[in-house]
Structure 1
Amino acid sequence: MSPSSRKRASCILAVKRQGKKALREELCLKAYEKSNIYQKKVKCYHDNMTLWKEFKVGQKVLLFNSHLKLIAGKLHSEWDGPFVITNVFPYGVVEIRNEAIDKTFKVNRHEL
């Protein structure tokens, strides 16, 4: 091979490498854009599914028992109750009363 044909071959290889690199970058950008669109759709869906629940005094609710979640079993219920709401505080705190033992305590709204 003559020196000029080597230069030409190396130039052709360099152009091919640049083309492949540009193609990879383009595919990467498209994947990034699609993942952003997907994340926005999932966030919108999640936000719609987790709406704030409105609680009123005197309403009966069930309390989520996170301790039973650790002890997995088919016959164990993860919910305790019923409890009666005695007071609703701002920022998601709810005061509930267990009618069976007449005990009152405060819990976060997401546990109901």
Structure 2
Amino acid sequence: RLTAFDIAADGGLSNRRVWADLGDGAPDGICLDAENAIWYGDVPNKRCVRVREGGEVLQTIDLDRGCFACALGGADKRTLFLVATEWSGTTSMAGGARTGQVLVVEAPAPGVGWP
């Protein structure tokens, strides 16, 4: 699930709440777009998913490997960068082939802020 907070003027957090229940989704790296949707990398399900508050899935990008992180960038901030690698679980993290990739997809809405 994704959690949201209110942010006070002094930077303090309050009013913790569930922003989106993701079911079997396992969010890792996330980024926000200009339509207030969140993209999240999902390692075990080998995908990157765009959701809105409440949990409605807006778009899914299926991959052949786990997606660890995502960021919106490029000149118009509409390029979605995905960091992905083959994944066999935490027990096989050391050693093995290095299969990491940065993949690029055009996004429906631009990013906001700085990654």
Shorter chain as normaliser: what TM range?
Answer: under 0.3
Point out the structure with the larger strand share. 2
Point out the structure with the larger helix share. 1
TM-score by length of 2: 0.27
1 or 2 for the larger relative contact order (CA 8 Å, sep ≥6)?
A: 2
Q: Which has the larger radius of gyration?
A: 1
